[in-house]
Chain A
Amino acid sequence: MNLIIVIVLCLLIVAMAVTAIMHKKLTISVLAAGVVSLLASVLYLLLAAPDVAMTEAAIGSGLSTIIFFYVLNKIRNVK
């Protein structure tokens, strides 16, 4: 059961990473990169590393996504 969840999570992470690279809209790409971190944190939790999972969820999917959006907004103003 656990193995199935891990495999599904890994496939979702790969799908989200491909979305982040391929999508034409940068907003969607940034969100997809955030979702990769979120899914990775669930994966860490399943693999018995709660400390790393908390860091990944707070920094990877929270703070870095916000910082990407700030930078995106800044670049858009220049165009």
Chain B
Amino acid sequence: MSLADTATLRTRVEETGLLWGLVGLVALLSLLPIGRLVVEGLAPGGQLSTTALGKVLASPATWTATANSLVTAVAGTLLAVLIGGTVALLATLTDIRARNAFTFCFVLPLMIAPQVTALAWLQLFGPSSTLLKLVGMAPPLGSRNPLYSREGIILLLGLQYAPLIFLTLRAGLRALPKELIEAGLAAGASPLTVLRTVVLPLMTPPLVAGIALCFVSCLGNFGIPAFLGIPGNFLALPTLIYQRLAGLGPGVLSEVAILSLLIGIIAMAGILLQDFMMRRRDFRITTTSSAARPFELGRWRTPVEIALWTFAILVLALPFLGLLSTSLIPAFGVPLNLATATFANYAYVLFEHAASKRAFVNSFLMSAGAATAIVLICVPLGYFIVWKKSRALRLLNLAAELPYAMPGVVLAIAAILLFLRPIPVLNVTLYNTVWIIVFAYLARFLVLGLRPVISGYLQIDRTLEEAAQIAGAGLPRRLVTVIFPLVAPAAVAGALLVFLTAFNELTVSALLWSSGAETLGVVVFSFEQGGDSTYASALAAITVLVTVGLMLSTTLFAQRLPQGVLPWRD
């Protein structure tokens, strides 16, 4: 073989090696866990049997939890559509001021962990509310916190996921060509008529997509039903699984596998329904032009702005004031004033409590590790998906979405099944270590990092890579010297999304944690379950500060980002 042939061969080996390595990795992270779960549901312990299936399906608890899950998810979604839809229309189509600041505040609840939101709202209401006591409006002692109920869960799910509807609808509204609105106005229709007859019908696709996403998120949410439902024994599917798993006994794994498959099936049904609805009509928009000029609200502008900001303060500031005030009192029930206020709770969770100290390190390292690994996977993965148009990887792109579309408990149970026993050949046990959580983070959040990287690639002129290729650079060198620097802003945005989501999550780690491998979410949860609301509040307040701080830091490099990759940036 000549020198040139050897070089060509090496290039081919490098490229195909990288491609198949990525294919294997994505399959390992996405297809394997779901596949393992299905196997367990059909053949518990490796033997085809319907005993577990029959037992689960015959249990009344299963169907109560399913009904509870469905009711809260559907009602929560409806509430989210109502709130998120209205706000999206007002904030995108009209000429309100300070849009960026408002978007940031409105989207913030989405970035804050559901269990923290739940905790904050719990601290706001109820007889021991430090804040209500401060203003003398606390309900009488002994009365029940009104949030410990089905309605409480629905309210918080709706508020938590209204930003999802807001985001998808706003993206759709932005893509709406202004001619379509102007043609309606020119035909003599009033702005409200145009809204009803042109804008809303064309917004069906993003709205339906948002609804599906919101439904799946509500269904899979663990933090809110755990904090609000478990005390009142109102169980949804994720909390039922959690309780079953806590009372670990023989055969329980097969039962929770079947329960999590049940959630998976309901989630899939929601997504398929979305697909079906989209096929029935043509929503394609033909022109592409700049975004519509906002409708002038005129004398209504100030009242609308006041209404929007009041709402933002009600759902954002008040609960967190509740959280903050509880975190500053020495013991639950003590009123907050200058004499009682203390930072002792913060000192305790930061410096004294062993599990809490570990949780900071664990959550930080696991989130940062997952974010870094996901960027390192996503940059070459995006390259093959977008530029090489590799068919195998486009299928895997869909596969990568799977663990995120599935509720978190489903993935957690799948990870337990995969790693309960030592990995064959290697003989390493991941169960009861941090690594099982890291695996679950990688699988679940891969798609969060992948989406911004893909939009980053779509923005780059490919000739930049081709020029490097012509200069003689092979793929590994091109990736390092040319491609990575060019997609870096989008990749950093993706890494940040992964970090924040993992840093705040509870759903996955609630089922996978072990002593020594606690996460912040788990510690907040166990403080609250043990009645230590003050510690829980202090810890939660810290995570909120870290989250908001990181979100604000993105303004530093926002100019270099493709539009829409960071949800909280307008």
Q: Do A and B bind each other?
A: no
Q: What is the interface of chain B, defined by CB distance below 8 A to chain A? A: none
Q: What is the interface of chain A, defined by CB distance below 8 A to chain B? A: none
